[in-house]
Amino acid sequence: MESVTESRDRYNLRRALTLLERDLSILEDKGYYTLDQTLLKRYRVQIEPLSLRGNDSLAPKYFGPFIPQGLPEPTQEYVDRNYNTARLTLSSEFGRLIYIYLQSYIRKLMIEFPTIRRVWSSNQVGDYDFGNLYRTFEPEFGTLSIFHVAKAARPHIKCIMHNDLDADDSHLLYGEVLTVVRIILGQLKQKAFVNDMVAPVLLFSLNRRRPRVIEAYYDGEKLVMRHTKPYDFTTLDKAEFKTFAQWFLGDPIGDTSKRAVRA
């Protein structure tokens, strides 16, 4: 059996991420659940803008959109679910309601367009070797769904999580940062990706009624977190649900080899 040798640069990259995970865990003990620019700079986390318009210069670097002909609209009839936030009483319920509707739409599309399953596959969240992706005490956060590239062909990951907190454009949530760091580390520990230096994550962060999408990757020097403006899911907005589904089901793209990281 052919042995797998990890380069020194890749080992150093994993070590830097391991230290970042350790430092982030300490923040939870100190009660830091919303991270400002001062904290982010200290831990070498950089916020950048992200756009989900496919032809925009700010579009994701490592993920493309799913744009087949005849993509059905996410109507309540097609999804076969109701979407009504008026009945919700707890703030933590909003993210789960958005997830249930989005996931139902995604499953319908995966049946209608079977080629998606040739690219993406999914396990139970607990079956991934990513460590603990939950906080069960207030303020809660947790991972609801993970998709990986079928047959470990590429290191890209799609993830949907909920956060029982709001966040503005200048802040990241502790749960968002910790989740992507643990996922990236888990991917880089796999022998299948020994020649990959970047393990990109597209995170759909369902922050109460105003979720956002984050493209996260480690560039060799810092953790880059590119996020969209918050979307308003207070009522059923079919265009926004369709946009989320298109980016969740789109192909992995981009160079993840040694050339993709800073020297």
d(CA 215, CA 234): 23
pLDDT band at 3 (very low <50, low <70, confident <90, very high): low
- Among 219, 217, 215, smallest CA distance to 250 is for 215
Give per-residue pLDDT as tens, 214-235: 999 999 999 999 999 999 999 9
**The whole model's pTM is what?**
0.96
What's the rounded mean pLDDT across residues 149-176? 96
Chain Cα centroid distance, residue 28: 20
d(CA 229, CA 173): 14
Helices (H), the chain: 8-29, 37-42, 76-79, 92-112, 116-119, 174-188, 238-249
Q: Give residue limits of the domains in the chain.
A: 8-260
Phi, psi of 35 (to 5 degrees): -105, 120
Give per-residue pLDDT as tens, 179-191: 999 999 999 999 9
Pairwise pLDDT comparison (1 vs 235), residue with the higher score: 235
Give per-residue pLDDT as tens, 73-99: 999 999 999 998 888 888 888 999 999
Query: How confident is the model at residue 87, as a pLDDT?
Result: 85
Q: Are 13 and 261 in contact (CB under 8 A)?
A: yes
Query: How confident is the model at residue 100, as a pLDDT?
Result: 96
Cα angle value 91/93/99 (rounded, 5°): 130
